[in-house]
């Protein structure tokens, strides 16, 4: 198909799609309206179960099955990346030369690295109270680790990052989520039902029954998943060279 | 709508429009400076919004941006170092203006909060924001001398 | 018109992303356009859940029942999707790197010529 | 219409999305995408969704740009080594 023909097809299809979407939008409940029955029900249920952050409550209690699905997509995407970006037979590793980083930048990176790790853990740990949770905190902690690559060099990062351990942690996080779910079945209720633990005191770290446990499992999985992903990309971008003339 | 949110609206409207204009056109050095400016505009705005909505827990957002914004700039400074070496961006005037605005916002929000644990968080955010902004500007000006690989 | 303005912005973002995807000359750029398309869904979801004058249903610094609240269900949907979307972006970029390795180009037009 | 701040940020989001698509060079696009990540996070904050905004900040400000830039570098390096191999 020539480029001009393709653009013409795109224009026709795009106009049709735009018209349909705009029509659909005109029929949606108006922006800022007062009618949110599901939201109100979720807030009531959350307060019943002593979880201060309703969004975390929806993720890890009401819709815990949905989060299980999201988590499997994440896991599958990481496995896919690891398979696609492994070192092929016609490639070899060439250790990169250390980069010359200006001293203030290096000092900043080494100073901020522990702060960012602590903030990441804080965001995970307070997921059921204040904004945050396993998904967000995991990404922050994993990104923080890569300040070593930015501020020092790739070799320093490789020394503190045993990839095998992170791959195992990733799998463990996934298993932990399933185990917490199955514990509900063994206790005689349903899979992922939040009836296992006492709900605790409202607005404390141990409140919310199984919500903090599932949150921690997700935090563990996301952290290791992002570290493994970035490790594969860094390997490809920095270290792995193709054989000449292959 | 109160004065805090009005201030945030003006800061966001003016600052982010300028950042968008800078990041979407012109030579690479200008785009990098504009990308760095994003953090310096958005982070004080988030502090103002947290104050305007009377929600101290929104300060976490500003804290996270103050941490990760400079990291993003370092990513670009590091991975585009060989292109940046040709034309080094110099925008210390802009950097110090941004630092001044950040400091003013942090002081104003601190004064409204009063001495408490929340104020400590605000001060940490401010220090990280201004420090990160200065270091990121430094990194753009030959912070990484590229060697093969790296 | 104003009561659907945010939805129309979401539609605009989605269509612009689609246009970029269809006319892209570089697969990495196409992955970036797909990220733009994804962000349209977040804007739409959160716009549906918004309520005038309301605040977030997070009670760490708020007495329950004192202020109107926005809808937490749509927020939970968007939240997980953002992180999962990033890993899917990574998977797509890994596929692009494989294409670059196998065919020596990341231009979709050249790729279709190679196959034809 | 609710607040002026929501309108301003919505317009900014639309403008950054358009700029991100119009920027054809992937490394320049990554710069615009990182700006878009921050603008989206601000939008989610004014729509009273701090959890989502945190998620978007964590992903959009450093992770996605890093992934794209690493891919760009790999593709460029590949092109360079292939050229050298072809000449030699």
User: What does pLDDT average to over chain A?
Assistant: 88
How close is the nearest chain B Cα to the Cα of A131, in Å? 7
Domain total in chain B: 1
- Domain that includes residue B125, residue range: 3-140
How do residues A121-163 score in pLDDT, each as one tens digit?
A: 999 999 888 898 899 999 999 999 998 888 877 888 888 888 8
How close is the nearest chain C Cα to the Cα of B97, in Å? 31
Contact present, C32 and D72 (Cβ < 8 Å):
no
In this structure, what token pair is assigned to residue B134? 């200065």
Query: Which positions ≥6 away from B2 have C-beta within 8 Å?
Result: B52
**C interface test, pick of B5, B24, B52, B55 with most C CB neighbours within 10 Å:** B55
Chains in contact with B, where contact requires at least 3 CB pairs less than 8 Å apart: A, C, D
List the domain boundaries for chain D: 4-87
Q: Is residue A1 part of a domain?
A: no
Q: How confident is the model at residue A1 (pLDDT cuts 50, 70, 90)?
A: low
Are the beta carbons of A123 and D54 separated by less than 8 Å?
A: yes
d(CA B72, CA A8): 39
Give the max Cα distance, chain A: 67
Q: Is residue B149 part of a domain?
A: no
Q: Is residue B31 part of a domain?
A: yes
- Other Cβ atoms closer than 10 A to A231: 21
Interchain CB contact of B49 with D (< 8 Å): yes
d(CA C18, CA C9): 14
Are the beta carbons of B68 and D45 separated by less than 8 Å?
A: no
Which SS3 state, helix, strand or coil, does residue C105 take? coil
Q: Which is higher by pLDDT, C1 or B95?
A: B95
Domain total in chain C: 1
Question: What is the DSSP secondary structure assignment for residue A244, as one 8-state letter?
Answer: T
- Other Cβ atoms closer than 10 A to B60: 26
Are the beta carbons of A244 and D84 separated by less than 8 Å?
A: yes
Chains in contact with D, where contact requires at least 3 CB pairs less than 8 Å apart: A, B, C
Interchain CB contact of A233 with D (< 8 Å): yes
Query: Which positions ≥6 away from C84 have C-beta within 8 Å?
Result: A70, A73, A74, A77
Are the beta carbons of B144 and A102 separated by less than 8 Å?
A: yes
Contact present, B128 and A109 (Cβ < 8 Å):
no
Q: What is the predicted pLDDT for the residue at D8?
A: 94
Nearest by CB to residue B139, choosing from A100, A102, A149, is A102
**Predicted confidence (pLDDT) at residue A179 exceeds the cutoff of 70:** yes
Question: For residue C55, what is the nearest residue in chain B, using CA coordinates?
Answer: B53
How do residues B32-88 score in pLDDT, each as one tens digit?
A: 999 999 999 999 999 999 999 999 999 999 999 999 999 999 989 888 888 877 777
In this structure, what token pair is assigned to residue B92? 């210390």
- For residue C1, count CB atoms less than 10 angstroms from its CB and return exposed for 0-12, middle for 13-18, buried for 19 or more: exposed
**Predicted confidence (pLDDT) at residue A209 exceeds the cutoff of 90:** no
- Domain that includes residue C82, residue range: 2-115
Are the beta carbons of A132 and B60 separated by less than 8 Å?
A: yes
Nearest by CB to residue D63, choosing from A137, A143, A237, is A143
d(CA A73, CA A68): 9
The β-bridge relationship of strands A91-93 and A240-242 is antiparallel
Q: Is residue B147 part of a domain?
A: no
d(CA B146, CA C63): 54
Question: For residue C55, what is the nearest residue in chain A, using CA coordinates?
Answer: A32
Q: Which is higher by pLDDT, A201 or B130?
A: B130
How do residues A50-109 score in pLDDT, each as one tens digit?
A: 889 999 999 999 889 999 999 999 999 999 999 999 888 888 888 877 777 888 888 999
**Predicted confidence (pLDDT) at residue A246 exceeds the cutoff of 90:** no
Q: What is the predicted pLDDT for the residue at D87?
A: 43
Which SS3 state, helix, strand or coil, does residue B144 take? strand
Question: What is the DSSP secondary structure assignment for residue A29, as one 8-state letter?
Answer: P
- For residue A165, count CB atoms less than 10 angstroms from its CB and return exposed for 0-12, middle for 13-18, buried for 19 or more: exposed
Chains in contact with C, where contact requires at least 3 CB pairs less than 8 Å apart: A, B, D
Q: What is the predicted pLDDT for the residue at A158?
A: 84
Are the beta carbons of A55 and C75 separated by less than 8 Å?
A: yes
Are the beta carbons of C55 and B56 separated by less than 8 Å?
A: no
**B interface test, pick of A99, A127, A149 with most B CB neighbours within 10 Å:** A99
Are the beta carbons of C36 and D20 separated by less than 8 Å?
A: yes
Question: For residue C59, what is the nearest residue in chain B, using CA coordinates?
Answer: B57
Interchain CB contact of D81 with C (< 8 Å): no
Nearest by CB to residue A105, choosing from B68, B138, B146, is B138
Q: Is the dihedral of CA C16, A67, A42, A57 positive or negative?
A: negative
How do residues B102-117 score in pLDDT, each as one tens digit?
A: 999 999 999 998 888 8
If you count DSSP H runs as helices and E runs as strands, how many of each does chain C have, helices first? 4, 0
Q: Is residue B150 part of a domain?
A: no
d(CA C76, CA D43): 16
d(CA A37, CA D55): 25
Q: Is residue A18 part of a domain?
A: no
Domain total in chain A: 1
Quick one: which H or E segment has residue A91? Answer: strand A91-93
For residue B116, report the phi and psi dihedrals to the nearest 5 degrees: -170, -175
Q: Is residue A235 part of a domain?
A: yes
In this structure, what token pair is assigned to residue C25? 């000359």
How do residues D10-68 score in pLDDT, each as one tens digit?
A: 999 999 999 999 999 999 999 999 999 999 999 999 999 999 999 999 999 889 999 99
Q: What is the predicted pLDDT for the residue at B115?
A: 85
Q: Which of chain D's residues have a Cβ under 8 Å away from the Cβ of B144?
A: none
Chains in contact with A, where contact requires at least 3 CB pairs less than 8 Å apart: B, C, D
Q: What is the predicted pLDDT for the residue at B148?
A: 47
Q: What is the predicted pLDDT for the residue at B138?
A: 86
Are the beta carbons of B38 and D38 separated by less than 8 Å?
A: yes
**Could you give the C-alpha distances from A112 to A116, A145, B124, B131, in angstroms and in order?**
6, 10, 12, 10
């Amino acid at each position: 198909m020539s480029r001009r023909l393709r653009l013409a097809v795109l224009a026709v299809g795009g106009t049709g799609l735009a018209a349909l979407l705009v029509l659909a939008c005109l029929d949606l409940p108006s922006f800022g309206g007062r009618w949110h029955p599901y939201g109100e029900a979720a807030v009531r249920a959350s307060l019943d179960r002593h979880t201060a952050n309703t969004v975390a409550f929806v993720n890890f209690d009401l819709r815990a099955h949905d989060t299980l699905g999201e988590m499997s997509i994440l896991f599958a995407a990481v496995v896919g990346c690891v398979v696609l970006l492994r070192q092929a037979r016609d490639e070899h590793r060439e250790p990169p030369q250390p980069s010359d980083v200006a001293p203030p930048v290096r000092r900043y990176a080494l100073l901020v690295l522990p702060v960012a790790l602590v903030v990441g853990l804080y965001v995970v740990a307070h997921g059921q109270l204040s904004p945050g949770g396993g998904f967000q905190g995991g990404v922050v902690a994993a990104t923080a680790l890569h300040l070593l690559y930015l501020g020092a060099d790739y070799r320093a990062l490789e020394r503190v990052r045993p990839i095998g351990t992170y791959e195992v942690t990733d799998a463990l996080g996934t298993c932990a989520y399933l185990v917490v779910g199955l514990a509900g079945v063994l206790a005689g209720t349903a899979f992922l039902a939040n009836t296992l633990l006492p709900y605790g005191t409202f607005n404390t770290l141990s409140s919310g029954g199984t919500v903090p446990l599932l949150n921690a499992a997700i935090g563990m999985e996301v952290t290791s998943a992002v570290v493994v992903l970035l490790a594969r990309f860094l390997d490809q971008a920095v270290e792995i060279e193709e054989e000449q003339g292959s | 709508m109160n004065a805090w949110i009005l201030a945030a609206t003006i800061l966001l409207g003016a600052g982010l429009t300028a950042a968008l204009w800078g990041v979407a056109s012109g030579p690479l050095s200008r785009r990098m400076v504009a990308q760095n400016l994003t953090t310096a505009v958005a982070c004080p705005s988030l502090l103002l919004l947290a104050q305007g909505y009377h929600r101290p827990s929104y300060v976490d957002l500003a804290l996270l941006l103050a941490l990760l914004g400079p990291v993003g700039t370092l990513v670009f400074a590091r991975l585009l170092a060989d292109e940046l070496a040709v034309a080094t961006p110099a925008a210390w005037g802009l950097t110090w203006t941004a630092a001044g605005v950040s400091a003013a916002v942090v002081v104003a929000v601190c004064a409204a909060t009063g001495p408490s644990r929340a104020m400590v968080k605000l001060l940490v955010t401010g220090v990280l924001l201004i420090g990160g902004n200065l270091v990121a500007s430094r990194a753009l000006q030959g912070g990484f001398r590229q060697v093969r690989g790296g | 018109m104003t009561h659907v303005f945010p939805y129309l912005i979401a539609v605009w973002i989605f269509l612009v992303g689609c246009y970029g995807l269809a006319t892209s000359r570089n697969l990495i750029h196409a992955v970036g356009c797909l990220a733009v398309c994804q962000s349209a869904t977040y804007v739409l979801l959160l716009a549906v859940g918004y309520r005038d004058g309301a605040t977030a249903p997070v009670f760490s610094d708020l007495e329950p029942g004192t202020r109107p609240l926005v809808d937490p269900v749509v927020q939970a949907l968007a939240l997980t999707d953002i992180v999962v979307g990033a890993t899917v972006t990574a998977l797509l970029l890994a596929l692009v790197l494989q294409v670059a390795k196998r065919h020596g180009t990341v231009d979709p037009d050249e790729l279709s010529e190679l196959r034809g | 219409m609710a607040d002026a701040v929501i309108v301003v940020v919505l317009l900014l989001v639309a403008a950054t999305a358009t700029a991100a698509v119009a920027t054809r060079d992937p490394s320049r696009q990554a710069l615009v995408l990182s700006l878009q990540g921050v603008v989206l996070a601000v939008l989610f904050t004014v729509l009273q969704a701090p959890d989502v905004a945190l998620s978007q900040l964590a992903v959009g400000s450093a992770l996605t740009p890093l992934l794209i830039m690493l891919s760009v570098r790999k593709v460029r390096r590949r092109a360079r080594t292939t050229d050298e191999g072809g000449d030699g």
